[in-house]
Amino acid sequence: MDRATNEMVITSVLAFDQPLSLARVRALVRDRLLPIHRFRERIEWSPLGLAAWAEDPHFDLDAHLATTTLPAPGGDAELAHAVGELAARPLDPDRPLWRLHVVDGYGPGTAVVMRLHHCIGDGAALVAMLLGLTDEGRAMHLENVRIDPPPAPPLADRARRVAAQAGTLARLIALPPDRRSPLRGRLGARKQFALSPPIELRAIKVIAAAHGATVNDVLVAAITAAVRAHLVARGDRVRPLRALMPVDLHVAGELGNHFGMVYAELPIDVTDPIARLALVHRRMAAIKQSPEATVALEVLGAIGLAPKRVEDLAIALFTQKASLMITNVPGPRSALHLDGARVTEMGVWAPVSGSIGLGVSILSYAGAVRIGIAADARRVPDPAELAAAIAREVLVLASAGGPRPALPQGAWADLRQWLREARALVPREDRRVLLSPPRLVARFMRFALNRHRGQAGHATADDVAGRDPALVGVLVGLYRWLGRYYFRLQVRGVERVPATGPVLLVGNHSGGLLPSEGFFTALAIHEHLGPARAVYALVHDFLFEDPLLRRYATRLGMLRAGHASARHAFAAGACVLVYPGSDLDTFRPFRDRNRIVLGNRTGFLKLALREGVPIVPVVTAGTHEQLIVLSRGDRLAKLVHAHAWARTEVLPIALAIPWGVTSGFVPYLPLPTQTTVSFLPPMTWPALGPASAEDPAALARCYGEIETAMQAELDHLTAGRRFLRGQPGS
């Protein structure tokens, strides 16, 4: 089944939280992998052209091991490029058909890339074999995210089964080739690889339960939507396409290939995400009751015994009936270890055969799902964008309307657990203040009065070491719950945030006194890069003039707005979050809710240029619908000199729950608006040094670039947006 343009080699990757030497990996392979005889055997051909397994008399383990180092910054993009280069090197047919590469420089640890020819085993067999390498061994339970085969019929139905299989085979042969599209055409030898960001498996299960679907249905629907967007971008007419999908027919504990194939028509032409998921579910349910997979397994076995010319014709016949392949490989539910090193991520890229140029591989691991894209460079020029789009489409489904319960059953348990954790970390007397709008307003008025009298304090407000990971974790838990069940949060592009080193996050401010976008920004980074990637926010003086509020602000990673505070955080290698528009932005009138207002303030830009840190713009859509700002009150604030006694240039009037018309400075209950947070690519200006921070022309140019990029993204996020409900499909 090999072709020059499509070799049948399965590629997988394991990422570790610490470096692994080649010698360490070699010892593990010798002790845990080589006892499996197939990994010491090669294929030998008889004079009649028949293949057979035979022990390699010259077996050399070192010929199957190699090492390489990723270039900086050593992220997913660099790893995917390295996998593409490794895939371009064919396996040696005179040796056992597998090879293992130790890839240094991937994040803080090492990645191990395994390449295995499909004749040794399929994707499920490869994952099972990799599990055998780990410390946990074969006792791990695999998470089922695949299509299950239909149940075996009773003996009385065997005759009808044979007849049904004969009819199914006839239908498969008569099925016409799939339609022409950018995914079909001449293939090249160069393949490109990509991995999606991790997608929370629990979130997928919530979507599935809400719509009476399966995990596999949700993922196939997301893949369908992403492929649709890819085709539209390339000028294709959106009509259905077929995908070739394996069905696992394995017997536990066996290597080899035990899978059938089914054709699934993907509803590319359906625009509504809920309708698309419902249609995918119906079609997948019909496939489960079909004998097609078993027939395909028998056909594949027969093809393997046929002369090569017949095999080539059969492969061409069957693969031209589909435009892509989607394969689901079950992975372990909990984290694994290899000689004590924790496996942080797993990914897999299954091969495609014949004329198919796009393979989509789904692998679950430790509560997350990653999508691997293996694509012919001619058919899919940007596989990384396709992988990211699939992850985004899962979020679209999570926030879509439709037949969902008010809250999944597990949501209340999550909330009760959060309340228990919060009570343990926040004493009752503190909660009485923090949860009381009148008491908070009174403290703000005291701050304003003291400032008016010239009695404002100068408490330390740049205590980076005071950040309390436990309390941060509790707040993350709250906003994770709110984002999932109340604000229907979507996050885009968080993988663009550098994994290490100082970064300045620059966002648009919304929502008045409850700017949830700051917490959602920190939540997204926490979920993607882990709790060790600290985010500090520069905030208003008010929080540091009151002892109680100062204590909690410090523990949550908040710093008094100013360059000195930011430099302390940069020195710790942390992310700093700033909203240059401040009160002008967060209290902009409702009519300007889709406008970026940075207020021509360039202090953040001077800071970035002086410190030499990249700026990552963060654009949020939806949060300015939490309340209705009627007036920003610029003139009133100027008239009463509000900046002198409250350090604000606005005195806003808003319509908010439960107060009705009220001051914008009064806490309120936010409306359940669909919220999207989008991270843009990092922006740097290598030609500008620290001295450029004093150059008005350079500042104006850089400021314009940032503001233009953020406004363009906000325009994109709000195009066709409906009040509270988000964009169509959100």
Token output for 75:
């992220």
Q: What is the pLDDT of residues 513-562, one digit of tens each?
A: 788 999 999 999 998 888 889 999 998 777 777 788 888 888 899 998 88
**Average pLDDT score over residue span 686-708:** 94
Contact between 728 and 722 under an 8 Å Cβ cutoff? The reply is: yes
575-578 and 503-507 strand pairing: parallel
Please name which of 351, 294, 343 lies closest in space to residue 324, comparing C-alpha atoms. 351
Question: At residue 371, does pLDDT exceed 50?
Answer: yes
Please name which of 389, 405, 361 lies closest in space to residue 490, comparing C-alpha atoms. 389
Confidence of residue 111 (pLDDT cuts 50, 70, 90): very high
**Average pLDDT score over residue span 398-427:** 69
Starting at the edge strand that comes first in sequence, how are the strands of the sheet with 503-507 ordered?
490-492, 676-679, 615-621, 503-507, 575-578, 535-539, 558-560
pLDDT at site 446: 74
Q: What is the pLDDT of residues 630-648, one digit of tens each?
A: 999 988 888 888 777 767 8
pLDDT at site 457: 53
Question: Which of 464 and 505 is assigned the larger pLDDT?
Answer: 505
Contact between 357 and 375 under an 8 Å Cβ cutoff? The reply is: yes
41-45 and 51-55 strand pairing: antiparallel
**Chain-wide mean pLDDT for the chain?**
82
pLDDT above 90 covers what percent of the chain? 35
- Return the amino acid letter for 281: H
Contact between 489 and 520 under an 8 Å Cβ cutoff? The reply is: yes
**Average pLDDT score over residue span 206-217:** 88
Q: What is the pLDDT of residues 482-499, one digit of tens each?
A: 988 889 898 898 989 999
Starting at the edge strand that comes first in sequence, how are the strands of the sheet with 337-338 ordered?
65-69, 98-106, 109-117, 9-16, 341-349, 337-338
Confidence of residue 254 (pLDDT cuts 50, 70, 90): very low
Q: Which residues contact 274 (CB under 8 A, 6 or more apart)?
A: 211, 397, 400, 401, 402, 403
Q: Which residues contact 282 (CB under 8 A, 6 or more apart)?
A: none
pLDDT at site 311: 56
**Could you give the count of Cα atoms lying within 13 Å of 430 in the half-sphere of its Cβ?**
14
pLDDT at site 96: 92
What HEC string does 251-266 produce?
Answer: CCCCCECCEEEEEEEE
**Average pLDDT score over residue span 134-139:** 66
- CA distance linking residue 334 with residue 587, whole number of Å: 45
Q: Which residues contact 663 (CB under 8 A, 6 or more apart)?
A: 651, 652, 653, 654
**Average pLDDT score over residue span 347-355:** 81
Confidence of residue 628 (pLDDT cuts 50, 70, 90): very high
pLDDT at site 459: 46
Q: What is the pLDDT of residues 353-369, one digit of tens each?
A: 777 889 999 999 888 89
Confidence of residue 170 (pLDDT cuts 50, 70, 90): low
368-376 and 358-365 strand pairing: antiparallel
pLDDT at site 139: 47
pLDDT at site 212: 86
pTM above 0.95, yes or no: no
**Average pLDDT score over residue span 7-35:** 88
Question: At residue 149, does pLDDT exceed 50?
Answer: no
Question: At residue 679, does pLDDT exceed 90?
Answer: yes
Confidence of residue 609 (pLDDT cuts 50, 70, 90): very high
Gyration radius (Cα) of the chain, Å: 29
pLDDT above 70 covers what percent of the chain? 80
**Average pLDDT score over residue span 680-706:** 94
pLDDT at site 708: 95
98-106 and 109-117 strand pairing: antiparallel
Q: Which residues contact 475 (CB under 8 A, 6 or more apart)?
A: 519, 556
Confidence of residue 68 (pLDDT cuts 50, 70, 90): very high
pLDDT at site 160: 55
Confidence of residue 453 (pLDDT cuts 50, 70, 90): low
Question: At residue 313, does pLDDT exceed 70?
Answer: no
**Average pLDDT score over residue span 8-28:** 89
Contact between 522 and 577 under an 8 Å Cβ cutoff? The reply is: yes
Question: Which of 383 and 646 is assigned the larger pLDDT?
Answer: 383
Question: At residue 287, does pLDDT exceed 90?
Answer: no
- Tokens 């009485």 belong to which residue? 432
Question: At residue 380, does pLDDT exceed 60?
Answer: yes
Please name which of 548, 359, 287 lies closest in space to residue 439, comparing C-alpha atoms. 548
pLDDT at site 272: 83
Q: What is the pLDDT of residues 231-251, one digit of tens each?
A: 988 888 778 999 988 765 444
Question: Which of 462 and 660 is assigned the larger pLDDT?
Answer: 660
- CA distance linking residue 667 with residue 128, whole number of Å: 54
Question: At residue 171, does pLDDT exceed 80?
Answer: no
Q: Is 165 exposed, middle or buried (0-12, 13-18, 19+ CB in 10 A)?
A: middle
Instruction: Quote the Cα angle for 245-12-367, to 5°.
Output: 80
Of the ranges 286-295, 385-394, 485-494, 503-512, which one carries the lowest mean pLDDT score?
A: 286-295
Of the ranges 20-34, 61-75, 304-318, which one carries the lowest mean pLDDT score?
A: 304-318
pLDDT at site 400: 67
3-class DSSP state for residue 285? Answer: helix
